[in-house]
Chains A and B, each alone.
Chain A
Amino acid sequence: MGQNMLEVRHLCASFFTQKGEVKAVNDVSFEVPRGRIVGIVGESGCGKSMTVRSVMRLLKYPGKIVSGEVMLDGRDLMRLSGREMAAVRGAEVSMIFQDPMTSLNPVMKAGKQVSEAVRIHQHVSSEEAKRRTLEIFEAVGIPEPARRYDSYPHQLSGGLRQRVMIAMAMICRPKLLIADEPTTALDVTVEAQILRIMKNLCGTGTSVLIISHNLGVIAQICDYVYVMYAGRIVEQADTFTLFEHPMHPYTCGLLNAVASLRLGREKLDTIPGVVPNLLHLPEGCSFSLRCEKCSGICASKMPDLMKTGEGHMVRCHLSGKGGES
């Protein structure tokens, strides 16, 4: 057994639109070690959802996986048939989505939707499935589980719905839990509770891949972080290193924006410019148009991911010189 629960190698995924191929995920590689929480951070539209949906093989039309390997516990998910993949979803790898308001079926009882996940993968009676559902409701901190079992989604608050989603995702004890911005739609106190639940669950043997555009969320629970920009990984490091010694100008920009918010400075430090159109990426480094330190080579050649320290990689021609600002 390798030490990684999930290994994604050279993943490319695109939207095939009438205007052309939108390379939303471009040669992305990352891994989630066993029992760890790994984060992917980046602005909206940088391809985070597309990346993790590729792992589930649940891309939105007209998105398609172009190439790459997705090894879950040593097995390449890309080679599985549709039927085999369906058997993996929910049982070995499960996913929770951004908006708990819309991700539960409005005409089905919350409890039924959770116990359904057990009954798809295991031959258990409906009583047993219900018993386990109540158990997991308890574990994710849903008060009055028996009453909530019979509630419909519209009768639950956002926080409770997201707990139901977590319960659904965890009930088969998957190897990997993918959470796509699980707290973006929730308020801050609920966010903290949900993150704590996820952290606890991780302690029970499930590895977690969490996506966020919020560095605060990442800082709270992740062991290791990937920073994504315009469909590529631009920096990766363990959480401490990333926050203390960011190397990529984009990462530095993100951190400065957060810091200026926290310190309540008059002027918010933002990264100038907007995310580039994925249909018309600049010739060289995708970030070059917004980068303060952009120099000759940046505009002509895409930098490779280069190792700058133990477990720390950066995609920048200036890494080593460009670092901390």
Chain B
Amino acid sequence: MKYNILQRLLQAAAVLLGVALLIFVMLRIVPGNPIATMMGEHADAATIERMTAELGLDQPIPAQFCRYIADAFRGDFGTSYSLGKPVSQLMKAAFGNTLKLAVLAALFAWILGIGCGIIAAVRKNGVFDHLFMGVSLLGVSMPVFMVAMILQYVFAYHLHWLPISGTDSIKGFILPAVALGWNSAGSVSRLVRSTLLDILQEAYIDTARAKGRRQWGVLGIHALRNALLPVVTMMALQISSLLSGAVITETIFSINGIGRLAVQAISGRDIPLLQGTALFSTAVVILGNFLADCLYSVLDPRIRKEA
């Protein structure tokens, strides 16, 4: 088990390094000079050349990469071209907001999704089943920006229950989190429902009932844990879609988060900032998958390695 975790951690580090290299190379082989873009149309050739040398962009790519990695280990991700501040500082400021948004969205999606999935499965073909599955179909088929706008219109503009944007209080995060989590809630609830319905047909469910467990005992003690296995896998996969959804959500709700930084970086050809945000997202996805793997082996003894 210990060995397994160590192995996974090394794997994760290798993936991270590979992705860093990929981002790095890609950003440098796209045509166009980022410095020229940054300085605007009126910059003269001499200034551009001086800036390029100053930022080390005239060096060969392998050398640039090694320096970048070495700096990154010290927590230095370079200085943003467009905002003129260290990337690490910009990301630190944005990280808190994105974290709040993502955690709230994930909690919303997973609690609601699992809860509704269970109720729908237990009362199969009942009112709630049809209602939840109808709504969840809307959930999985509506794009994030549309959900966001509907929520803004109804709850902020019309009912004035919640702020339309801004992050002064946690209240400001509610609508963005719901908008962001909406899709995941839909797919989680559908998955929970179908998995649970399958599992309720398993022989060990009969065994549990035959030993005297009543409905909720059978469900909570025997069915749920088995049903959660595929859900954990799905949740890990959803982390990356939550992150890309965060780009849109943060923009619509004007939240200063990593997603918005990424948008700024792309539109400004801001290579250090773009590298920083991309690397951050990759790290989060890898970490999420790692945690999901750990959770999976806690839940399912069959994949644990024999001690």
Contacts and interface: CB of A to CB of B under 8 A. Distances in A.
B215 to A, nearest CB: 8
B212 A117 contact: yes
A97 B207 contact: yes
Interface stretch (A104-112, A194-202, A232-240): A104-112
A168 interface: yes
Interface residues of A, number: 31
Given A105-B226, A154-B302, 16 more contacts: A56-B210, A58-B206, A58-B209, A58-B210, A83-B214, A94-B211, A97-B203, A97-B210, A103-B203, A105-B208, A108-B222, A116-B211, A117-B212, A120-B211, A120-B213, A169-B210
A86 interface: yes
A98 to B, nearest CB: 8
Interface of B: 202-204, 206-214, 217, 221-222, 225-226, 299-302
A82 to B, nearest CB: 7
Interface in A65-98: 82-83, 86-91, 94-95, 97
Nearest to A178: B210
B212 A120 contact: yes
Contacts of B217: 120
Contacts of B225: 107-108
B203 A99 contact: yes
Contact of A86 (B212, B222, B299, B302): B212
Contact of B226 (A87, A90, A107, A168): A107
B211 A90 contact: yes
B204 A90 contact: no
A82 B215 CA distance: 10
Contacts, number: 75
Contact of A106 (B204, B210, B214): B204
8 contacts: A82-B214, A90-B212, A104-B204, A107-B225, A107-B226, A113-B207, A116-B213, A165-B207
Contacts of B299: 107
A83 B215 CA distance: 10
Interface string A110-135: 00010011001100000000000000
A89 B302 contact: no
A82 B217 CA distance: 14
A242 B111 CA distance: 60
A80 B139 CA distance: 43
A91 B210 CA distance: 9
A91 B226 contact: no
Q: Give the top 7 A-B pairs by smallest Cβ distance, nearest first.
A: A90-B212, A90-B211, A102-B203, A103-B203, A117-B211, A152-B301, A105-B204
A134 to B, nearest CB: 18
A121 B212 contact: yes
A97 B206 CA distance: 9
A83 B204 CA distance: 20
Contacts of B221: 116
A108 B204 CA distance: 11
Contacts of A106: 204, 226, 300-302
Interface of A: 56, 58, 82-83, 86-91, 94-95, 97, 99, 102-108, 113, 116-117, 120-121, 152, 154, 165, 168-169
Contacts of B302: 106-107, 152, 154
A168 B211 contact: yes
Nearest to A99: B203
Contact of A102 (B204, B210, B212, B222): B204
Contacts of A94: 210-211
Contact of A87 (B207, B212, B300): B212
A90 B203 contact: no
Contacts of A102: 202-204
Contacts of A103: 203-204, 206-207
A89 B210 contact: yes
Contacts of A107: 225-226, 299-302
Nearest to B306: A155
A120 to B, nearest CB: 5
Contact of A154 (B208, B212, B301): B301
A152 B212 CA distance: 21
Contacts of B202: 102
A105 B222 contact: yes
Contacts of A152: 301-302
Nearest to A116: B211
Contacts of B204: 102-106
B296 to A, nearest CB: 11
A92 to B, nearest CB: 10
Nearest to A95: B210
A36 to B, nearest CB: 21
A86 B203 contact: no
A114 to B, nearest CB: 9
B213 A86 contact: yes
A105 B299 CA distance: 12
Given A89-B212, A102-B202, A108-B222, A168 B300 contact: no
Name which of B209, B212, B214, B300 has the most chain A CB atoms within 10 A of its CB.
B212
Contacts of A88: 212
Given A107-B225, A107-B300, A86 B210 contact: no
B235 to A, nearest CB: 18
A250 B225 CA distance: 46
Contacts of B209: 58, 86, 89
Nearest to B225: A107
